[in-house]
Structure 1
Amino acid sequence: MIREESAEDHFLFPTKAQPVTHTLDQPRKTTERAGFRVDLQGLRALAVLLVMCYHIWFSRVSGGVDIFLMLSAFFLTSSTARRIARGQRPPLLDGWLHRFSRLIPQAAVVIIGVVIAAWIILPSTRWLELIDQSNASLFYWQNWYLSNHQVDYYAFNTAAASPLQHFWSLSVQGQIFIIWPLVLAGSALVWKKFFSRRSFALVAGSAFGAIFVGSLAYSIHITATNQQVAYFHTGARLWEFALGSLLALALPWLSTLPEKIRRIGGWAGLVTVIGSGAVLDVQGQFPGFMALVPTVAAALVIAAPAPRSWANPSGLLSLPPLVKLGDLSYGMYLWHWPMLVFYLEVSGNEKASFLAGAILIAASIGASWCTTKFIEKPAIAWQASPSFSRLIPQAGFKLIAQFAVVALGIGVASLPVLAWENNVEHRRALAAAQTDTDNPGANATEDWDPSPAALTLPLATELDSEWQTPGIACEGPNAPEDKRIHFCEQGGDFDGGAPDLVLLGDSHMQHWSAAASAMIEEAGGSWILVYEPGCRYGSDADRVDETCSDFQDAAQDYVADLAPQMVLTTASKTVAAPDAMLRSPGEQETLVDNYAEMIQPLLDAGSRVIAMRDTPRYTYSIPECVDSNKGELDNCDGSAGYALNSVNPVEQFLDSKDYGNQVVSLDMTGLLCPDGVCKAVIGNVLTYLDDSHLSKTFVLSAKRQFATSFKEATNWE
């Protein structure tokens, strides 16, 4: 994953077997000839192969990325520290341009390829996210984007992998490439002013040691409290880079240890590097102290004797095929992940077979070879070109060339992203220009003739705005005092009295709120929506979540104290897929398990309860299905007989009780599933915004039908 330094930066370590006695501050006292560590190229190759194999065949994380991060700081610190120790100034601007001019060309090509492929292959429900991720990846901010967009209840496509997700580690690395030279420059300044008689490695090592201890402590803490954020957090990863820097500074001293000890440590480290991904839960436990396992193991490999003998790990890692792959490791990391994501998307498979995985690995190697040979190497060669030496000094030309490579790479990669954004904006403008006759939704008549050019609404790129919160936050006497109630909305004319209607439950109550609130407000009444996502009111099964259990208790007291005229709840519960006993979703639909007990306090307070039947659920996203089946929308429809019980569980419940008119049933199945077919699109409007929640656009189109059904069920005027 890491981009290698220039070849001269790798002539850092002795290649002969004799102990090394010099330090970074005494480079001229040794008679050893510095040599290029080809075994470290092999270590790179091994790490990237582990990453690819675990991703492709096991859907796991190997720990290879952690080794890459450590290695990148190892190389950077080695080259910079040797320059400082020789009395040269630490490179800042030229160092930054040097590294990013090598990183950006291949990254830009991959981003361009991903943008074009995603635009063509992926459903438009994912476009906005990928546009944002393209920019975040290009500007080395992807890790923070992923950290700030962790899975939440209302997030779309959280199960769908992003073809740019792997750029998180490159972003962390890019941030370190900016910070680390500053740390080294600061250490050099302190060394020259206060400790010039001591070793520079000691001064710099103190700085990196402090970073290591502080970051590791923070990493352990945040991994234990919020592992999803910790995985992408730069602060939780700093210690891995600090470890690489400490190793680079200490390696001359480590080289004086007995060769046998270093050889045993190297082999133990190599075995650990290979096996850590199989033994450790990298995705769930890193980057806390568990990440010490692969990184320290890699450090042992680096500290092992460098001569390429079969007695040393370097012999295995110096095999020509591994060394060649090490040269391509950066591109291999860049290409393998989007290739895997697009393959799974197109094939519909959850995992790659052995053959498909082998082809993906070969394709990644081939793509890396192409971008390395035809993109990266020409860019590097051009930076060293003496063509303008008569007009511009060579050093000045090199800086200008490096800046041009960085700017050109970012600029060219930004063009398809901007084109994609413009396409989205164009579709928004077209949608805004459509009339009600283009998208009548639930009001479509039998003789309605849809326009072939009209876009289906809501646009798949606008689904985030389809969640229904039709009012304002509850205030005044309606504001819940109990902090266990997190979501409360109100609307209408309260006129100092109790609300006419309270909608109580989870998101499946929330998704009817636009129609219910419109009905109440048109009648001059008032309403309150109190809900907790993923928490069905009355369900003991949902109480395993402490937040849900707290909400149900608090909401029961809150609504009973309000004593509204009516309380609307979702009384049954649907599922999307067959269970272990192969029962269909319809056979599994049942009444909420503790419904009778939970509505009793509301009835005792004098409220009427409207027990609503749950809506059908799907095993797939309706917008994504519609986006992929233009002209064949029937492919996205479902069967009411399959999705819902043949007998409404709410009706069965009421038949077994003696509530009279104090509890009544409301069933909107006929609206969603006319003639027994649950429609994905009605009147050129998406009925659902995902796999189980109704879209606000459709519900608003159906407010007349909802009001009619509600009034028929309750005799409310």
Structure 2
Amino acid sequence: MSNRGPVFSLEDFLQEPSRSGEPAGEDFHWTQDPVEDDFEDFAAWGSGGDDSPWDDSPAWLDDDARDDFPDWDALERGSVGPDGSSPTDADDPALGGPAAGAAPGSTSIDLWRSGPVADPDDLRPPSARRRTSHFRPEIEGLRTVAVALIVVFHVWFGRVSGGVDVFLFISAFLLSASFGRRLRTGSLGSPIRTWLRTFTRLLPPAVIVILAVLIATRFLLPPSAWQPMITQALASATYWQNILLSSEAVDYYAQDISVASPLQHFWSLSLQGQVFLLWPLLFGLVALVSRRPGAKPKAFAFALFGALFAASLAYSIHLTATEQTAAYFSTPARLWEVAAGTLLALLLPRIDRATRAERPGSGSRPGSAVLRGLAGWVGFGLLVSTGIVLDVQGQFPGWIAIWPITAAALIIAAGHSGTRWGFDRILTMRLPRSLASISYAMYLVHWPILVLTLHVLDKPRAGLADGFAIIAVSLLISWALTRLVDSRFRHPRWKAAPTGRSLAVIGLCLALVAGGAFGWRYQLSTEAERTAAIGPTSGVQEKQKAPEPADVRAGDLVPAGHQLDSQWPAQRYRCSGPSAPAAFPGQHCDMRLPADADYDHLVLVAGSSHARQWIPAMESAAEKGNWQIINMHMDACPFADAPNPEDRCAGYRDWVIDQATALKPDLVVINGSAVDLGRNRDVALAGMTSGTAELTARGIDVLTIRDNPRFSQNMYTCAEKVLENDGTGADANAQCGVPAASVLSLVDPQVLTASAAPGPGRVVTADLTPEICPSGQCVPVQGNTAVFMDSNHVSKVFATAMQPRMLEVIAESYPDLLVTP
């Protein structure tokens, strides 16, 4: 086997003439193999690296080895034998028979012919027939177009190109076509074996990129990126990166790519990995139905994948309209694109027969040649215009993704046009087909190189010159990764590798990522323990001992960037026992003391995470008064009415009121206002005042805490960037600080909440703005403490430093809570 990569010359840009009746370029099969019958070899990203067939099978094979698109009619008629043959195999153009108009004696391996003509091959016994080719050279070129759009739009435009949608569609088309062929011959195979082969080939190059990104992160990215990158490395290697990003509602359209994750692009590979797990099971279900007497597998397959298409598309439209950032990465919201590729694979054989399709080099002009040529160009026009003509920001992957899917379907359905001007002529040139061989590696490496380069250059987007440099380096590394790694696992010996050998490769890949990720995480936790003695200081806690921000340098800030994951306050015990509230969908409940502990006062914390963040500030008061604190917060759900009945927060406020009525707490703590970032002010939301009034009317005391400021930038990373560039804390405050009047209302809106309380319970309001934004300036650094952990939450360290101030509020307003009976 040769591993040499492609070498280009001027002639490579030209369409090669056919030789000896063989399709042009049919010997070039780095991505699809004319004699391949394992579905994982049709992974949409392509890849390979050898210029020889993937196996050494002779040209003459028995009929058992010959496969093609599923002959659903034959399956339903029962006219297909156990070996997949039928009496008319030699004459059926859909089954590899000769075409009308083909010269006698030709040896074409065409799948698409449309009429019976005598062929010497067909006079041979079944064991001596030539094997059918399923290689589609135009799909190789389509891969190149898709990956080129992805890279160009990422590097220079920061917009969605539709290229990933095309890859999902191509992947499903080729997977389903291969499964259909194997289903027809009754050799669907074990899904476990299929999964092992697939991930044996996908993981090695991906793991190399993941490990390289981890190393680059340690030396090029700030500490705040370390822990998220460790988590994303594990998610990428185990194919749930899209689920992670969806849960975090990552903005894929963020304008500043330099602050994006270098592994963010693994979301689409994770989605494809999930499809590789699911699709064998779905086709296995079709196979089971096919064995039943009188079964109609064609109808069942269309119904199954048609229903999946419809359900997923409807869900995608809904989720895109309500939670677009989460929808972008969602597998259920993307499955319709995969199902669309499967439906085309099932329909295309009939379309080809009806329109007299031909293969390149067959010597016969296909039917509807002009229409095919036009369809290819229309598809290309639709595809390249996706991110230019359409304003797709915030609209993918809803109905708007039909645009690039339709474009890909037109190009594939058009196939070989037989014209000199058809778009397929360009797609089947040697250069685009050669570049398709490195498309998988190119997708893997281009995004990390782009993100890391822009971070080092401190630029939000690449310019013309550095953009070309990024692409050139990506091409070089992609070629090396394909040749040295990817092509090795596309060798025939890996196709037939025993299960243990495949498991060893997969296990080694996962062990390398897990070892690197958990090893680094352990090292960071050990360093954190050693530096814990330094402790935080702030202007709030110890004014006389706090260092001046001017003295704070990189490494002095508490918490360190790699400790940000620990800044979400979490109490030790999950809610249980008679004093615990009833469950609410999506709500996480935890308690300060175990369920069987004795306590003197019960305090409930409700509202969004902006209420939860102040639990550490209550710790000294809780210890003094022996409180049980039950955290009933719900992320992004303030103690207010939900915007619409279908919102996830719908009913949350009323649930809090009902649980408080049942548990009879001594105090309920809520965030009494919410900042409207678009209006740069905080307000009392609809239902917040009335909800507080309901609690006090039932004799329950309420402490409302004014919302802290929200910013358009991440305050922690802004300060960290200044410190990493040899600045001081004072420099960070000067560059990142924001006047409080520009992000908060001049008057605390909680005044209205307090005045509306009918009693007998009381409402006490607490405004911590003077501590958060001293002297009217909201700054990221006080003492050596980071005030904010992101763009809108105070850090746990800062909240802990606020204990004396919170104790003052409790002692002044609720002194009985500090007295144990």
TM-score (norm 2): 0.65
Residue of structure 2 equivalent to 1:330: 440
Give the alignment of 1:135-154 within 5 angstroms. 135-143=234-242, 145-146=244-245, 149-151=247-249
Q: Deviations over 1:214-238 (max 9, x none)?
A: 4323423442454546842485554
Kept in 1, the 8 Å contact 2:524–2:562? The answer is no
What is the Cα deviation at residue 519 of structure 1?
A: 0.7
Distance 1:651 1:284 in 2: 34
What is the Cα deviation at residue 265 of structure 1?
A: 3.6
* Structure 2: stretches of 5+ with no match in the other structure: 1-43, 60-65, 69-89, 111-134, 321-325, 358-366
Kept in 2, the 8 Å contact 1:610–1:666? The answer is yes
Residue of structure 2 equivalent to 1:704: 804
Kept in 1, the 8 Å contact 2:564–2:789? The answer is yes
Amino acid at match of 1:446: Q
What is the Cα deviation at residue 425 of structure 1?
A: 0.8
Residue of structure 1 equivalent to 2:342: 242
Aligned with 2:309 (options 202, 208, 216): 216
Aligned with 1:421 (options 513, 518, 525): 518
Residues 1:186 and 1:607: Cα distance change in structure 2 (over 3 Å) = closer
Residue of structure 1 equivalent to 2:95: 25
Residues 1:415 and 1:473: Cα distance change in structure 2 (over 3 Å) = closer
Residue of structure 2 equivalent to 1:134: 233
Residue of structure 2 equivalent to 1:316: 426
Kept in 2, the 8 Å contact 1:664–1:714? The answer is no
What is the Cα deviation at residue 427 of structure 1?
A: 2.0
Residue of structure 2 equivalent to 1:582: none
Q: Which moved more, 1:650-659 or 1:48-57?
A: 650-659
Kept in 2, the 8 Å contact 1:42–1:319? The answer is yes
Distance 1:699 1:601 in 2: 29
Residues 1:3 and 1:644: Cα distance change in structure 2 (over 3 Å) = closer
Amino acid at match of 1:3: G
Kept in 1, the 8 Å contact 2:203–2:509? The answer is no
What is the Cα deviation at residue 428 of structure 1?
A: 0.8
Residue of structure 2 equivalent to 1:122: 221
SS at match of 1:334: helix
Residue of structure 1 equivalent to 2:19: none
Mapped pair 1:666 → 2:736: no
Kept in 1, the 8 Å contact 2:789–2:795? The answer is yes
Mapped pair 1:364 → 2:474: yes
Aligned with 2:729 (options 633, 658, 667): 633
Residue of structure 1 equivalent to 2:140: 41
Kept in 2, the 8 Å contact 1:21–1:256? The answer is no
Residue of structure 1 equivalent to 2:26: none
Residue of structure 2 equivalent to 1:198: none
Residue of structure 1 equivalent to 2:544: 446
SS at match of 1:232: coil
Kept in 2, the 8 Å contact 1:74–1:247? The answer is no
SS at match of 1:706: helix
Mapped pair 1:624 → 2:717: yes
Amino acid at match of 1:690: D
Amino acid at match of 2:707: D
What is the Cα deviation at residue 134 of structure 1?
A: 2.5
Distance 2:219 2:671 in 1: 40
Distance 1:65 1:253 in 2: 30
Residues 1:282 and 1:211: Cα distance change in structure 2 (over 3 Å) = farther
Residue of structure 1 equivalent to 2:410: 300
Q: Which moved more, 1:214-223 or 1:32-41?
A: 32-41
Count of aligned pairs: 680
Give the alignment of 1:317-716 within 5 angstroms. 317-346=427-456, 349-353=459-463, 357-377=467-487, 379=488, 383=491, 399=496, 411=508, 415=512, 418-434=515-531, 436=533, 438-439=535-536, 443-444=541-542, 446-447=544-545, 457-470=558-571, 486=587, 503=605, 505-516=607-618, 518-524=620-626, 530-537=632-639, 550-553=651-654, 555=656, 568-571=669-672, 573-574=674-675, 579=679, 588=681, 599-602=692-695, 604-605=697-698, 610=703, 612-625=705-718, 627-628=720-721, 629-630=723-724, 632-637=728-733, 638=737, 641=740, 649=748, 665-673=765-773, 678=778, 680-682=780-782, 684-712=784-812
Distance 1:58 1:339 in 2: 16
Residue of structure 2 equivalent to 1:64: 163
Distance 2:153 2:193 in 1: 37
Distance 2:662 2:510 in 1: 59
Residues 1:455 and 1:401: Cα distance change in structure 2 (over 3 Å) = farther
Residue of structure 1 equivalent to 2:368: 259
What is the Cα deviation at residue 636 of structure 1?
A: 3.9
Residues 1:210 and 1:357: Cα distance change in structure 2 (over 3 Å) = farther
Distance 1:144 1:322 in 2: 33
Residues 1:178 and 1:487: Cα distance change in structure 2 (over 3 Å) = closer
Distance 2:374 2:810 in 1: 77
Residues 1:134 and 1:517: Cα distance change in structure 2 (over 3 Å) = closer
SS at match of 1:692: coil
Distance 1:674 1:281 in 2: 43
SS at match of 2:529: helix
What is the Cα deviation at residue 640 of structure 1?
A: 5.7
Residues 1:645 and 1:266: Cα distance change in structure 2 (over 3 Å) = closer
SS at match of 1:649: coil
What is the Cα deviation at residue 707 of structure 1?
A: 0.6
SS at match of 2:262: coil
Q: Which moved more, 1:681-690 or 1:203-212?
A: 203-212
Distance 2:279 2:597 in 1: 64
Distance 1:657 1:412 in 2: 62
Distance 1:77 1:500 in 2: 59
Residues 1:244 and 1:139: Cα distance change in structure 2 (over 3 Å) = farther
Distance 1:288 1:451 in 2: 48
Residues 1:601 and 1:85: Cα distance change in structure 2 (over 3 Å) = closer
Kept in 1, the 8 Å contact 2:449–2:470? The answer is yes
SS at match of 2:95: coil
Q: Deviations over 1:17-64 (max 9, x none)?
A: xxx975453457973534865433222211222233344444443333
Distance 2:631 2:203 in 1: 50
Residues 1:170 and 1:544: Cα distance change in structure 2 (over 3 Å) = closer
Kept in 1, the 8 Å contact 2:373–2:419? The answer is no
Residues 1:611 and 1:146: Cα distance change in structure 2 (over 3 Å) = closer
Q: Which has the higher helix share?
A: 1
Distance 1:568 1:77 in 2: 56
What is the Cα deviation at residue 568 of structure 1?
A: 4.6
Amino acid at match of 1:335: V
Distance 1:480 1:412 in 2: 44
Residues 1:111 and 1:645: Cα distance change in structure 2 (over 3 Å) = closer
Distance 1:127 1:291 in 2: 34
Distance 2:181 2:446 in 1: 35
What is the Cα deviation at residue 204 of structure 1?
A: 8.4
Distance 1:613 1:33 in 2: 78
Kept in 1, the 8 Å contact 2:703–2:764? The answer is yes
Q: Which moved more, 1:116-125 or 1:29-38?
A: 29-38
Q: Deviations over 1:241-298 (max 9, x none)?
A: 5246436755762562523343444344333333445566778666677655544543
What is the Cα deviation at residue 107 of structure 1?
A: 3.0
